[in-house]
Amino acid sequence: MSSPKTYGELKPVIFSALKEGINRFDTAPSYRTEGVIGDVLKSAENELGLSRKDYWIQTKIDAWQMTEGNIRKHFDDALEKFGTEYVDALLVHWPVPEKMSDTWTQVAGLKSSGLVRFTGICNVRMRQLESIAGWDELPDIIQIERSPLRVCADEEEFCRRNGIELQAYSPLCKMDHRLRDSALLHDIAARHGVSIGQAVMRWHVETGAVPIFATTKPGRVREYSAVTDFSLDDADIAEISTLDCNHKMYLESFACPGF
Amino acid sequence: MKKKAALALIVILMIAVLPVCAGNVFALSVWIAAAAMMVTNLLAVLRNRRQSAPFSPQSEIRNVHTLIIGDMIDPEITGTTTDFVQISAPGRSLQSCYEILRHTHSILDDKGGACVIFAVKEGNDEGFSVFDLPFFHTITIRKYGLGKLNRFRKFPALICPVRAILMALGAKSRNYRESSALPDEALSFCHERGYSLRIFLR
């Protein structure tokens, strides 16, 4: 849900996700979707008979909020927009070096007070993770840009070793032509009778990551929810991982000076 | 609003063009100067924008070997012939080079072998220009109080006309020599990330 959407646009997508068993919703203040996601989820409670425990709200602290410093105030604003008493996960969107320590202390405080169930950090590489390993309070979630074009094997291994959930945003790299036109991917997808999008999503799951995808199409939600209906073997996973060329769409330092 | 702006533009053009048609030499000179200024501005802005294109999510330029930041320098001087991204503007300061590096270094190959080159005029240690702003995050613009300058980012010819002309012409300086004195902060920044740093001065 990474760009402004209306209630009418999001309702069919979120309802479709909930019906297909996808109940986690990721946003950030900069996406400007917190309010509308909250409204749609309230509708889902009424119309689909769900309770707050049946879905997961995950939001973030943006870089500009970190520089302003008062994380609690920004978090309270988010709670008001969602119309909820807690969020399931609160992630630091960018590890702004000068502000990271202070922000993390405040985020950990929100978890201690029960307003946040899980904490996390986005957009970190091994250099940051090595420093995080020494913290008193480790994050529960690490969210990074990850796709077969950027496997991030070291980060995946770090998360597995430390019991941290690895989330992959842009899991299809916006279907970059190197994925879209990959004979290897087409071959693997054909062998399993799935689309290449489903094959890549399954690759994420099999390699220990939770893919976070954005869509406005209920059909796409149905397509990706079916990745639990098949599995890839070790050879498939290894072959897909050979597409790695360390390509990232989002340059960390451009969004996080001094990264 | 757009109609009003269009009407105002037409009136301004008529005021400017009518005396020219009437053979007024002064008005003609003013008109030519204004047109030259607009063209210069456009070329400078476009050149600056082209330099920031590799950093957009749509760009396929990633994992480059060398990042050249600074004044208008010929890559041949640095020994860099291919696989580099250049962010250059006339009169760029050392402080600005370092800040741009903090914003752009993720385009370098983090598997090692990456090189950063600063090209600055000796003694030009501090200050920012309008050509630095496309590379800066909002939090950096706030940190250095560059909000006013940021309002003019599309009008460099108005606030730094000489630099804008040099930028528009793509003027390159060849009078650079490699320096062995490297700025500590930039050096340790590069060292922590496994990049090598070279600095060229004129």
Each residue's pLDDT tens digit, A24-36: 999 999 999 999 9
pLDDT confidence of A70, banded at 50, 70, 90? very high
Mean pLDDT throughout A192-212? 97
Least confident of A188-192, B27-31, B97-101, B102-106: B27-31
Domain with A14, as residue range(s), is 7-247
Percent of chain B scored above 90 by pLDDT?
71
User: Which of B57, B110, B139 faces A249 most closely, judged by CB atoms?
Assistant: B57
Cα–Cα distance for residue pair A34/A81, rounded to 1 Å:
6
Asked whether residue A2 carries a pLDDT value surpassing 70, the answer given is: no
Q: List residues bridging with A120 in a β-sheet.
A: A91, A141
Asked whether residue A118 carries a pLDDT value surpassing 70, the answer given is: yes
Asked whether residue A139 carries a pLDDT value surpassing 80, the answer given is: yes
Asked whether residue A17 carries a pLDDT value surpassing 80, the answer given is: yes
- Binary contact (A253, B193; C-beta < 8 A): no
Q: How far is B112 from chain A (nearest CA, A)?
A: 13
Domains in chain A: how many in total?
1
Would you call B65 an interface residue with chain A, using a CB distance cutoff of 8 Å? no
Asked, for residue A1, whether it belongs to a domain, the answer is no
Asked, for residue A2, whether it belongs to a domain, the answer is no
Asked whether residue B169 carries a pLDDT value surpassing 70, the answer given is: yes
CATH value at residue A177: 3.20.20.100
Asked whether residue B18 carries a pLDDT value surpassing 90, the answer given is: no
- Binary contact (B105, A259; C-beta < 8 A): yes
DSSP chain B: -HHHHHHHHHHHHHHHHHHHHTT-HHHHHHHHHHHHHHHHHHHHHHHHHHHHGGGSTT----SBSEEEEESSB-HHHHT--SSEEEEE-TT--HHHHHHHHHHHGGGB-TTS--EEEEEE-TT--S---GGGGGG--HHHHHHTT-HHHHHTTT-HHHH-HHHHHHHHHT--B---EEES---HHHHHHHHHHT-EEEEEE-
Judging contacts by C-beta atoms under 8 Å, the chain B residues touching residue A245 are 63
Average confidence score pLDDT of chain A = 96
Q: Which residue has the higher pLDDT, B3 or B50?
A: B50
Cα–Cα distance for residue pair B39/B24, rounded to 1 Å:
23
Task: Check residue B159 and give its pLDDT.
Answer: 93
Asked, for residue A253, whether it belongs to a domain, the answer is no
Task: Check residue B82 and give its pLDDT.
Answer: 86
pLDDT confidence of B5, banded at 50, 70, 90? confident
Judging contacts by C-beta atoms under 8 Å, the chain A residues touching residue B109 are 246
List the A56-61 sheet strands across, edge first. A24-26, A56-61, A87-92, A116-122, A141-145, A165-169, A209-212
Residues on A contacting B at a C-beta cutoff of 8 Å = 63-64, 67, 96, 125, 127, 245-259
User: Which of A249, A254, A257 faces B139 most closely, judged by CB atoms?
Assistant: A257
Q: At what angle do helices A196-206 and A234-241 cross, to 10 degrees?
A: 100
Q: Which candidate in B62, B141, B143 is best for mutational testing of the A interface (most A CBs within 10 A)?
A: B62
Judging contacts by C-beta atoms under 8 Å, the chain A residues touching residue B102 are 253, 257-259
pLDDT confidence of B145, banded at 50, 70, 90? very high
Q: How far is B124 from chain A (nearest CA, A)?
A: 22
Q: How far is A46 from chain B (nearest CA, A)?
A: 39
Would you call B192 an interface residue with chain A, using a CB distance cutoff of 8 Å? yes
Mean pLDDT throughout B134-138? 97
DSSP chain A: --S---HHHHHHHHHHHHHTT--EEE--GGGT-HHHHHHHHHHHHHHH---GGGSEEEEEE-HHHHHH--HHHHHHHHHHHHTSS-EEEEEESS--TTTHHHHHHHHHHHHHTTSEEEEEEES--HHHHHHHTTSSS--SEEEEE-BTTB--HHHHHHHHHTTPEEEEESTTGGG-HHHHT-HHHHHHHHHHTS-HHHHHHHHHHHTTEEEE---S-HHHHHHHHGGGG----HHHHHHHHTT-----SS-HHHHSTT-
Q: How far is A53 from chain B (nearest CA, A)?
A: 36
Task: Check residue A217 and give its pLDDT.
Answer: 93
How many other CB atoms are there within 10 angstroms of residue A88's CB atom? 18
Task: Check residue B24 and give its pLDDT.
Answer: 78
List all residues of chain B from 2 to 31 with a beta carbon under 8 Å from chain A.
none
User: Which of A127, A248, A254 faces B104 most closely, judged by CB atoms?
Assistant: A254
Nearest to B125 by CA among B188, B70, B62, B171: B70
Q: How far is A258 from chain B (nearest CA, A)?
A: 5
pLDDT confidence of B1, banded at 50, 70, 90? low
Asked whether residue B31 carries a pLDDT value surpassing 90, the answer given is: no
Percent of chain A scored above 90 by pLDDT?
97
pLDDT confidence of A89, banded at 50, 70, 90? very high
Task: Check residue A4 and give its pLDDT.
Answer: 64
Mean pLDDT throughout A100-124? 97
Task: Check residue B111 and give its pLDDT.
Answer: 80
Asked whether residue B83 carries a pLDDT value surpassing 90, the answer given is: yes
Q: Each residue of A107-143: b (16+ CB within 10 Å) or e?
A: bbebbeeebbebbbbbbbbeebbeebeeeeeebbbbb
